[in-house]
Amino acid sequence: EIVLTQSPGTLSLSPGERATLSCRASQTVSSLAWYQQRPGQAPRLLISDASNRATGIPARFSGSGSGTDFTLTISSLEPEDFAVYYCQQRSNWPPVTFGPGTKVDIK
């Protein structure tokens, strides 16, 4: 089973600052996605296939990486961006696993 590790566990930043979130896989993955989850809400797809913004996602969100190392960058944090972010990979079996999440909170 491919295990995803996210770092840091918590990121404390101020509005306007840049956020860099990491997701590392225990083996090479065929695709990686990023989700945002605000309190009391369902997760929302942000990034597909490592670097493609989902429909309606602002340009301040970007994804990069391949193989085992991936990054989600939020160029300038808006108040609504303080949330938990999960990465998720697709592989042969089991076909889906999620990372443990990174919480971005207000400094």
Q: Which residues bind other proteins (CB under 8 A)?
A: 1, 30-31, 33, 35, 41-45, 48-49, 52, 54, 86, 88-90, 94-101
Instruction: Please report how close the Cβ of residue 99 comes to other proteins at its closest, in angstroms.
Output: 7
Distance between CA atoms of 77 and 82, rounded to whole angstroms? 8
Cβ closest to other proteins, residue 17 vs residue 57? 57
User: CA angle at residue 12 from 7 to 15, to 5 degrees?
Assistant: 125
Among residues 87, 90, 93, the alpha carbon closest in space to that of 70 is found at 87
Instruction: Please report how close the Cβ of residue 68 comes to other proteins at its closest, in angstroms.
Output: 16
Distance between CA atoms of 107 and 69, rounded to whole angstroms? 27
Instruction: Please report how close the Cβ of residue 14 comes to other proteins at its closest, in angstroms.
Output: 25
Cβ closest to other proteins, residue 15 vs residue 58? 58
